[in-house]
Amino acid sequence: MTAKILDGRTVASRLWRDLSDRIADLHERTGATPRLAIVRLDARGPSAVYAASVWRAARSVGVDAFEIAPPEGVALSDLAARIGALNRDPSIAGIVIAQPVPSHLDAAVVVELIDPAKDVDGATPLNAGRIARGERTFVPATALAVMTILRSYGIPIAGKRAVVVGRSAVVGRPAAALLLAADATVQICHRRTRNLARETRRAEILVVGAGVPHLIRAEMVNRSAVVIDCGINTTPNGIVGDVDYAAVRPVVGAITPVPGGVGPVTTMMLLQQTVDAAERAESSDEPALDRYALPERHEANSGSRETEPS
Ligand code: NAD
């Protein structure tokens, strides 16, 4: 058996068309164009590459993205004033901080400067708390990409045993929360997990975001598993995922490649949430936020505690 390939580029192109239509429609109705501020704190390195790639993707779909680049070594108080101005500007729908931030700044403190209503990458503690409670909100783009890929390929989630490897605030934790909100039975593994293989073999849906090249090998997966690899690791052999794709692909049910899996969908998720924010700002109707991410059902909102899936 060879796995079904969950092709992120195909999913991303469909999302691109949907977003482009929504942006045109918004413009026709209101004259507004979604604007995204990308705060770049480093002129070189991975955060500059990230900022440039978001800017290009945004421009291509019709989001008016622009970079804010404070001087090198900017003080937190100065940065707070700059981000405060973005928060107050009604023409700006979304704000994203290009990570990693320089070492003189604390990333957790920097993201707290963003107004949660413009936090289109789900980075603020308020939005992280909402995600943990199963409430609708902006979510980290990579975690949302995981759910979007599963849903795009019609992969059932409710009742499935999902194992997430990694517990970072941007990948593992929110992915686990979204899977839980979609009624999977979720387990989170991390670097202190004993016998990782025993846990991952139990997964019907396996999501990996560990940052360790080829951490997941063929003997660590269930034969019918759906494997979503969030890893992006630069090696002498090029970019590879956290899953040994060549070895695992023949022994599972479905798998995302790296590159070409979660990555391209992640960028579209950031832009999708920017468009959601712009639409919400222009309308008093039900926010568009629940379109992909959250939870067909919101147990935390309903006031009920644990309820059996229907
Ligand atoms: P991180 O270093 O913040 O977190 C890694 C997590 O993996 C930790 O919780 C750690 O406990 C766990 N882990 C590490 N080694 C492990 C091991 N041997 N066994 C079990 N668990 C282990 O990293 P991150 O920011 O979450 O990124 C994870 C990966 O996802 C990286 O490859 C990163 O490049 C990638 N990433 C991809 C996207 C995307 O758009 N696809 C976005 C963000 C991050």
| pLDDT per residue as tens digits for the range 194-239 | 999 999 999 999 999 999 999 999 999 999 999 999 999 999 989 9
Please, which pLDDT band fits residue 284 given cuts at 50, 70 and 90? Answer: low
In the reported structure, the alpha carbon of residue 272 is separated from the centroid of ligand 1 by a whole-number distance in angstroms of 23
The pLDDT tens digits for 61-105 are: 999 999 999 999 999 999 999 999 999 999 999 999 999 999 999
Q: Which domains does the chain have, with CATH numbers?
A: 27-115 (3.40.50.10860), 141-262 (3.40.50.720)
Task: Identify the pLDDT of residue 2.
Answer: 86
Question: Cα–Cα distance between 129 and 74 in angstroms, integer?
Answer: 29
* Nearest-atom index, ligand 1, CA of 230: 41
pTM: 0.92
- Mutual orientation of helices 141-152 and 8-30 as an angle, nearest 10°? 110
Residue 288 burial class via C-beta count within 10 angstroms: exposed 0-12, middle 13-18, buried 19 and up: middle
In the reported structure, the alpha carbon of residue 241 is separated from the centroid of ligand 1 by a whole-number distance in angstroms of 10
In this structure, what token pair is assigned to residue 63?
A: 């989001």
Pocket residue to mutate for ligand 1, from 191, 196, 240, 265, most atoms within 8 A of Cβ: 191
What percent of the chain shows pLDDT beyond 70? 91
In the reported structure, the alpha carbon of residue 232 is separated from the centroid of ligand 1 by a whole-number distance in angstroms of 9
For residue 295, pLDDT over 70 is answered with: no
Indicate whether residue 170 lines ligand 1 (CB < 6 A): yes
| Average pLDDT taken over every residue of the chain | 92
Long-range interactions of 291-295: CB distance < 8 A, separation 24+: 292/144, 292/147, 292/148, 292/151, 293/136, 293/139, 293/144, 293/147, 293/178, 294/134, 294/135, 294/136, 294/137, 294/139, 294/178, 294/181, 295/134, 295/136, 295/178, 295/181, 295/182
Question: Cα–Cα distance between 105 and 44 in angstroms, integer?
Answer: 16
Task: Identify the pLDDT of residue 310.
Answer: 40
